[in-house]
Amino acid sequence: MAKRTNKHTGLTRVRNVIRKLCSTPLGLFSVIIVTAFFVVGITGDWIAPYDPIKLDIRAKLQGPSSAHWLGTDQVGRDVFSRLLVGTKVASYLAVTAVSISLAIGIFLGMIAAFTSRWIDWSMLLIFDTVRSFPTLMFALAVIALFGPSINTIIGIIVISTFPSYARLVRTQVLSLRSMEYIEAQRAMGTRLPRILMRHIFPNVIGPVMIVASMDIPLVIGVEAGLSFLGLGVRPPTPSWGTILNDGFSFIRNTPWIVISAGLPLILTTVAFTTLGERLRDILDPKLRR
């Protein structure tokens, strides 16, 4: 009975958050764009009207038409189909990289806050050392060693972002560990893993998810920038960055390619940033007061 009540309460909270998100024009816009981003990312291969890597030289650099809604590129590939499949690459990269970073950051952050002081200091030194590296220089060095690929980009993003999550979680846990109900659990002999998972984790996941939602456009931008430079996703796999690169060479005569690839980047950046800000306003009691 208690489990059903907890599930019902959790669903009610989620519905309330969604209702509050959609209560403003910007919030509704962010929900629609973010939902569309993930839906297209999942179904991109099935809804693309053309093969995104099939060449058709006779149809190269055609303008937008009923046959090709966003025109074709320099080798006759349908730009709209490539954008749809490129959304799959962007969503896979964002979800995978941010999820791994979150898992590592939450684990290390909770461990740092509940261990001895010298271990805490050692972990903080590691976090600050990793964060001190310029992301671009670090990415170029890693790509030079391992070569450009999706997995390489995921590794770069994970290493660059998990210290921020770990520091945030550590701060949250340090403020919670002295609470009376946590002290009561420790006095009753409750094991540390149970305290962390049952009492600490539910209270830190909200702020961390807010930061993660704002980091998703950063992850997408890193991939697009590296792919634009030829250091990210390898052709012929379509991504927003490679489409931008293809269109840049012909921007004077065929600007629709660059516009078509740049617009999704702008929309997703604005949508995820707005979503994070709205979630912060809704979930943070201090801001709500």
Residue span of the structural domain in which 38 resides = 17-288
How many Å apart are CA 256 and CA 262, to the nearest integer?
Answer: 10
Strand partners, 78: 72
9 within some domain: no
Give the residue, 183 or 173, on which the prediction is more confident. 173
Give the pLDDT of residue 113: 83
34-64 pLDDT, tens per residue? 999 999 999 988 999 998 988 888 888 888 8
Structure tokens at 224: 């697009």
Q: How far lies 13's CA from each of 7, 28, 32, 35, in Å? A: 10, 18, 20, 19
- pLDDT above 70 as % of the chain: 92
5 within some domain: no
Q: Report which DSSP code applies to 234.
A: P
Domain total in the chain: 1
pLDDT at residue 101 is higher than 80? yes
Peptide bond into 236 cis (omega under 30): yes
Residues 261-289 have a mean pLDDT of: 80
45 within some domain: yes
Report the candidate in 61, 191, 167, 150 with the shortest Cα–Cα distance to residue 109: 167
12 within some domain: no
1 within some domain: no
How many Å apart are CA 257 and CA 262, to the nearest integer?
Answer: 9
How many Å apart are CA 171 and CA 69, to the nearest integer?
Answer: 49
- The CATH number covering residue 123 comes to 1.10.3720.10
